[in-house]
Amino acid sequence: MAAKNQQTQKPNKRKQFSSTKTDKDGSKSKKPKLLSSTPSSANPSNKLLKKPFNSSKPKREHPTHSKFKKSESGNDNKELTKRERRIQAKELAEARKKKRKPHYTLEQELASLWEKMRRRNIAKEDRSKLITEALQKMKGKIPETAGSHVSSRVLQTCVKYCSQIERDAVFSELQPHLLTLSCNAYAVHLVKKMFDAASKKQLAGVISSLRGHVASLLRHMVGSVVIEHAYQLGNATQKQELLMELYSTELHLFKDLASIKESRLIDIISKLDLQKSSVLRHMSSVIQPILEKGILDHSMIHRVLIEYLDIADKSSAADIIQQLSGPLLVRMIHTREGSKIGMLCVKHGSAKERKKIIKGMKGHISKIAHDQCGCMVLVGIFSMVDDTKLITKIIIRELQTTLKELALDKSARRLLLQLLHPNYSRYLNTDGLASLNLTVPSLSSKNESEIKSKKLSRDEESSKEAAKSDIPEENLDEESTKEVATTDSDMEATESGKSDTPEENLNSAEGGKKDPSLRRRELLVNSGLAENLIDVCIENAEELLTSNFGKEVIFEVAKGGSDGILHPTLDEKLNNLHEAIAELAAKPKSDESEEEHVLENFHSSRTIRKLILDCPAFASTLWKKSLEGKCQLWAQGHSSKVVSAFLESSDSEVRKVAKEELQPLVDDGTLKIPETKQSANEN
């Protein structure tokens, strides 16, 4: 009923607007009655209706209306053409720019000069004239014009090609304004160019002028670039001067304290007797804003973070590692210190944090692998993280697409070699091996000070017990060390074992709990990486053998990896690789060929020689397919090392196979073998 009433009910219309006027012909007019222009005093409601209902605001005039019309020869109604309107708009924009930019006219003149001076085919004399003219126009106005995107480029070109006298004049004019210009998005490039061209004295003055502003500039997106550039150009003393401001308030205020020779923060604290808690508070106030803004690309910040983690307490260190674990870490691992921080995050991070680190690398694995420092973080992940399924899914799947490039690259090959022969000093340098053993002292399960104190207390207890018993004094040290060793191993087992605390709160993981050999097999063999790697070695055997870096990868693969990890799963594939190398060695020797034979090439001959000594299966295949009956041909030059390796081998079967043919060559002096090696193998 309510709906029916609503349909039948007519809307209430206002009387003065709803009334219609009937024309004489009977049609109704919809034109509303207009109200009286003078309000009626009797009807107070008319005060609200002073304007007619259909009255509207005045319309905006179109640009083609009267005020835009061309007034020419008395004809004001003629419209402007499109070209004339475009010219008029351009003139108006130019007038506005002149009003807004005080040096707009100068910038226009400089831009025209810049177009000429930056050409490659211009003569030096003509360029120097243009530069002199441009610098003369800017004289006294360089700091004001340096912030413009046009004139800053002109100044950079001038600084690059001008004379030393002109460069010094520009430098002296800019030096008082360096701090302001360092925060300008356009002027920062000019400041960096001035740093590169500065003399030692000028650079020392610039670094000295930055004192007191290092922390504030590091928090600035643009200013941090200037600080990092100065840090890279400075010598050890100047770098230390820039860092000291970030360590402590005392070092920031007193310049004499900053001239200390010690470089490590922990040594500076002990030398100057600084309060460790005060240093930590100051460094935390510097580091936190930088982390919040994500300004983590600079090596100077990485150095500060390393020093902070070295002295931080457990909660502070764990907080820093938690903040860094993720995509932010990818931006840090391109430097030496940043790589160390990445490895510390992997080592001490919880399972959840490690997962964030690995997922943050997705899509960047190939670039990280080819980086000299970044590849060490991947090596650390292979050595410490137990989640092999996650590593296979994100890291190894991306590496499998570029195995040839990885094997031939100086840095990236370390990833493959770490799986084939882990922690080998031939492939990882001393610094790389040391970085794998880095720890954060407060998060380390082995706290040396605690161990020493426990050892001393146990020595005292054992000496007391020995006094009561008949144990000789010379055996006390041995028994006490055994006790400490057992207690230390118990401590490690307890800390690395399961705990009641949540997994994400375990910040002292220090590597994985899984057996290293099992982790290695899962990453190398079970993931399919080894099989793909053998296929790549078969297809590119010659290129890898003759390469300075690839030869090590193909050697380890052909040998089967350390501890024979590729045997017996991939024996058939390995035999195919041995045959591929033997076929290359079986090619006839030709003086006309431009390509060097694999037995005469410096790298490949030595790699094949090592394979003969270390892999009897390969030696047998090579002898039957390539060298049997041809040893006299290869008894000179680099190839002689390959032939003589059969007699130097520690395997009796290998020596027995080749001795009948090689011994006559040794007797007549054609083939030379060190007597010590031959006699040692015969014995």
pLDDT digits (tens, 9 = 90+) for 24-41: 444 444 444 444 444 444
- Asked whether the predicted pLDDT for residue 20 surpasses 60, the reply is no
pLDDT at 39 (0 to 100): 44
Paired tokens of 501? 């605390």
Q: What percent of the chain has pLDDT over 90?
A: 53
CA angle, residues 602, 605, 611, in degrees to nearest 5: 140
pLDDT at 78 (0 to 100): 58
pLDDT at 485 (0 to 100): 40
Longest dimension (CA), the chain: 143
CA atoms of 117 and 127, how far apart (whole Å): 5
pLDDT at 34 (0 to 100): 42
pLDDT at 612 (0 to 100): 95
pLDDT at 562 (0 to 100): 93
- Asked whether the predicted pLDDT for residue 483 surpasses 50, the reply is no
CA atoms of 302 and 232, how far apart (whole Å): 13
Cα torsion for 325, 327, 331, 334, to the nearest 10°? Answer: 70
Paired tokens of 105? 């006219």
CA atoms of 480 and 455, how far apart (whole Å): 7
Q: Which residue, among 166, 117, 118, 123, has the nearest Cα to 142 in the 3D structure?
A: 166
**Could you tell me which residue, 492 or 530, shows the higher pLDDT?**
530
User: Is residue 527 within 8 Å of 388, Cβ to Cβ?
Assistant: yes
The helix (H) or strand (E) run that includes residue 28 is strand 28-29
Burial class (CB in 10 A: 0-12, 13-18, 19+), 286: buried
- 251 band by pLDDT with thresholds 50, 70 and 90: confident
Answer positive or negative: Cα dihedral of 611, 551, 417, 390: negative
CA atoms of 676 and 683, how far apart (whole Å): 11
Q: What tens digit of pLDDT does each residue of 539-568 get?
A: 999 999 999 999 999 999 999 999 999 999
Instruction: Work out the mean pLDDT of the chain and round it to a whole number.
Output: 81
pLDDT at 60 (0 to 100): 55
Q: Which of 240-249, 315-324, 440-449, 462-471 has the highest mean pLDDT?
A: 315-324
Name which of 4-18, 164-178, 215-229 the model is least confident about.
Answer: 4-18
CA atoms of 640 and 661, how far apart (whole Å): 14
Q: What tens digit of pLDDT does each residue of 385-421 get?
A: 999 999 999 999 999 999 999 999 999 999 999 999 9
- Asked whether the predicted pLDDT for residue 70 surpasses 60, the reply is no
388's CB contacts (< 8 A; 6+ apart) are 514, 519, 522, 523, 526, 527
Q: What tens digit of pLDDT does each residue of 405-461 get?
A: 999 999 999 999 999 999 999 999 899 999 999 999 998 865 444 444 544 455 555
User: Is residue 525 within 8 Å of 566, Cβ to Cβ?
Assistant: yes
**Helices 413-420 and 374-384, axial angle in degrees (round to 10):** 20
pLDDT at 459 (0 to 100): 53
- 21 band by pLDDT with thresholds 50, 70 and 90: very low
CA atoms of 170 and 130, how far apart (whole Å): 16
- Asked whether the predicted pLDDT for residue 509 surpasses 60, the reply is no
**Helices 223-233 and 200-209, axial angle in degrees (round to 10):** 140
pLDDT at 666 (0 to 100): 85
Strands 28-29 and 21-22: antiparallel
pLDDT at 682 (0 to 100): 59
Name which of 47-51, 501-505, 606-610, 624-628 the model is least confident about.
Answer: 501-505
User: Is residue 556 within 8 Å of 420, Cβ to Cβ?
Assistant: yes
pLDDT at 578 (0 to 100): 96
The helix (H) or strand (E) run that includes residue 436 is helix 430-436
* C-beta atoms surrounding 631 within 10 Å: 22
- Asked whether the predicted pLDDT for residue 505 surpasses 60, the reply is no
Name which of 289-303, 475-489, 626-640 the model is least confident about.
Answer: 475-489
- Asked whether the predicted pLDDT for residue 1 surpasses 50, the reply is no
- Asked whether the predicted pLDDT for residue 256 surpasses 70, the reply is no
CA atoms of 224 and 240, how far apart (whole Å): 17
CA atoms of 315 and 323, how far apart (whole Å): 12
pLDDT at 134 (0 to 100): 92
**Could you tell me which residue, 679 or 574, shows the higher pLDDT?**
574
Name which of 44-48, 98-102, 164-168, 424-428 the model is least confident about.
Answer: 44-48
User: Is residue 300 within 8 Å of 228, Cβ to Cβ?
Assistant: yes
**Could you tell me which residue, 302 or 466, shows the higher pLDDT?**
302
Given the structure tokens 């040794």, which residue do they identify?
A: 666
Q: Tell me what the mean pLDDT of segment 312-333 comes to.
A: 93
The three-state (H, E, C) secondary structure of 527-546, written as one string: CCHHHHHHHHHHHCHHHHHC
pLDDT at 260 (0 to 100): 72
**Could you tell me which residue, 375 or 48, shows the higher pLDDT?**
375
- Asked whether the predicted pLDDT for residue 92 surpasses 70, the reply is yes
pLDDT at 83 (0 to 100): 86
Paired tokens of 120? 């490659």
**Could you tell me which residue, 106 or 179, shows the higher pLDDT?**
179
The helix (H) or strand (E) run that includes residue 267 is helix 265-272
* Cα–Cα distances in angstroms (integers) from residue 302 to residues 140, 225, 354, 357, 588, in the given order: 40, 14, 19, 17, 56
pLDDT at 675 (0 to 100): 63
User: Is residue 369 within 8 Å of 375, Cβ to Cβ?
Assistant: yes
